[in-house]
Amino acid sequence: MTFISYTVAAITLISLGLYAIFTQVHFLKKIIAINIVGHGIFLLLVTLSKKAGPQNPDPVPHAMVLTGIVVAVSATAFALYLCRRIYDSSGRTSLPEDDTEEVKIR
Amino acid sequence: MKNIVHKKKVILALMLSLLAFFMLIELIQILQKESFPPAQLALLVEENIHKTGVTNPVTAVLLSFRAYDTLLEMGVLVLAFFGAIGLSGGGLEYNQLTKTSQHPILIKLASTLVPVMILTGGYLLWAGTHQPGGAFQAGAVLAVGGVLLSKAGLTDPLKWYPKLTLLFCTLGLTGFLLVGISFHLIGFHFLHHPQALSYVLIFFIETLIALSTASVLIMLYAIGRALLSPLGTRQ
């Protein structure tokens, strides 16, 4: 039962994050959404690794998650720098394509 | 027009919930099976762990069986560091004028916590060879210590900007590569090493990785703060 609740939580995080990536316009919100998807996937991997054996969880997904966390942190930092750079040079906080859609709404 | 955008969002939400539903059904079926494919990987790790010199299976996977992944991961950290420097547009040299104000409460907090953090980081690094812990956890704890120190205004990591930080941030990648290549030159496969030296080499590489992870994370914070600082050399 605990496996199923963790799986449900992981899939909820993944789908919420995916929805936000496609619908949110602001860069910061997109970065947060990507992180939420990533953490859903980490939760899923750790849940699956526990299934390998209650005493000895599978270490391979654990190592993948550990690698993933470090990569996610550094990629997020890099994305924030990109975001800041775009804001400094053009004053934008969203992509031009998304802007036109916003204008159309109004 | 507003209706079309709204309709698109509803369709997207419906598609995502369908996807989530099928993923869930599939995963529950997998979880209820007795023989689960990754279990064989766990068995392989269990059978071969004595060859690595460490007893923590996660460390064995990270630094022995899948050392290549960890090497590339250090590459990603170094890339993020250089990317941050590139995007900052220069002007990162330490300047006495950029000295930030010191916060009395943060100074007290930092001087109490940072020694404990250094101790915890060292312990986590050593513990990684035989129980949960390891280089990245140690690096993360050390990085928080460094961020706390610069947040309190006790030190500015940019003080060591071009030379020493470049050395420390690339230490993990270069050290790992040097060990891998030097044993390759005397006849081993790339990133392979003699079993007798395994424990020492893994611990050595882990130490370098911990230092490197901590310095990259601290520098990513420090460069960002220099960019946002109104007193910085760049406006």
Task: Concatenate the DSSP letters of all residues of B141-208 into one string.
Answer: HHHHHHHHHHHTTS--GGGGIIIIIHHHHHHHHHHHHHHHHHHHHTTSPTT---GGGHHHHHHHHHHH
How many Cα atoms within 13 Å fall on the side-chain side of residue B221?
Answer: 18
Q: Is A92 helix (H, G, I), strand (E, B) or coil?
A: coil
> Among all chains, which residue has been given the structure tokens 């766990």?
B42
Check whether B147 has a pLDDT greater than 80. yes
Q: Measure CB to CB from residue B76 to each of A12, A59, A71 and give the nearest one.
A: A71
Tell whether ipTM is more than 0.85.
no
pTM: 0.85
Check whether B58 has a pLDDT greater than 80. yes
Residue of B141, B163, B146, B130 lying closest to B210 (CA atoms): B141
Instruction: Using CA coordinates, name the residue in chain A closest to B30.
Output: A48
Instruction: Using CA coordinates, name the residue in chain B closest to A55.
Output: B42
Question: Which of B12, B24, B142 is the best mutation test for A, with the most CBs of A within 10 A?
Answer: B24
pLDDT at B52: 83
